Amino acid sequence: MRLRNLQTFVAVARLGSFHAAAQQQHTTQPGVSARINALEEELGVQLFIRDKSGTRLSPKGVQLLPYAEKMLAIGQEMKEQLSEEQQQKGNIRIGIADTLAHLWLTRLLEHWQQQHPLLSFELNTDVSQRLIQQLSDHQLDLALIVDQPLSDTALVSEPLCSYPQKWVAAPDLITGDSVKDIEDLARYPILSFPRDTRPWEFLQSLFINRIEMPRFHTCGSVKGLLELTQQGLGIALLTAPLVDKQIASGELVELDISPNPPGLNFSFSWRLDDNRILPKLLADSGRGTISQDHTD
């Protein structure tokens, strides 16, 4: 059984289209059809149903898919094991959300450099929405982003980490005042990441039923948001690792506001049509670095 035919089968199953699979695999649609036909003949079953509504897996195709994915994963692992002594060379373009850059950029780059001393890293810090667009436009090879649904079917994402969020303010801003709920919070300026980011959307949802929205001041820099918050220019919702030291030192105070904010999830993302194993290798090793620190 040819792995190339299984790769094409998985691509069609994931993308739901022979045409899209052909584009991803840099071949023609007849070429994709030929590979699927060869696999169907070898197995003696029909793998896809094609009608006016599109292309979908047949019951036998649904049954085959997890086995095909396992076989491809084993094949990939075999290649990686056999080539682990070969040093990766060239350039890798990585985009990283500012929160993660503030927390992890130095550690990740140190770790990646140790693993791949011949690689050159091109690093770009930005909000997640722009990083996703750059990934779609082939301007990035790997992105570390705030987790969110991806509309581009050419992109894949895997979980990275999650952090609790805390409401924080400068002590002088709320002296003698009680901030316990959304109504109390609305009396103050809110400091936020830029418009249309996931944190901004969450903050907007809190006040959706109010006739008058509070004032929002946005900033794309974690360092900038921290400085604005410490200077008493508003209340901010930030991930715990960004503010725990300031809370402990008394530079900021944590506010117990109901309802409790959800955690902020982060993920790795790269292109399905990137035939190199490098983005996946960096994602796996980066996740290991962050997970190890969480358990230390």
Query: What distance in Å separates the CA atoms of residue 182 and residue 188, rounded to the nearest whole number?
Result: 10
With residue 94 as reference, give the H or E element that holds it. Answer: strand 90-97
| Tens-place pLDDT, residues 109-165 | 999 999 888 899 999 999 999 999 999 999 999 999 999 988 888 899 999 999 999
> 70 exposed, middle or buried (CB, 10 Å; 0-12, 13-18, 19+)?
exposed
The dihedral of CA 69, 274, 32, 58: what is its sign?
positive
Checking if the pLDDT of 86 tops 70, the result is: no
pLDDT in tens, 36-60: 999 999 999 999 998 888 899 999 9
Report pLDDT for 176: 66
Mind listing the domains of the chain with CATH numbers? 3-82 (1.10.10.10), 90-162+265-295 (3.40.190.10), 165-262 (3.40.190.10)
The 10s digit of each residue's pLDDT in 196-239 is 899 999 999 998 888 788 999 999 999 999 999 999 999 999 99
List the structure tokens of 58. Answer: 């047949």
pLDDT digits 0-9 by tens, 250-272: 999 999 998 889 999 999 999 98
pLDDT of residue 118: 87
Q: Is residue 72 pLDDT above 80, yes or no?
A: yes
Q: What long-range pairs does 29-37 form, CB within 8 A, spacing at least 24?
A: 32/8, 35/2, 35/4, 35/5, 35/8, 35/9, 36/5, 36/8, 36/9, 36/12
CA angle 242-220-97, nearest 5°?
Answer: 65
In the 8-state DSSP scheme, what is residue 172?
Answer: G
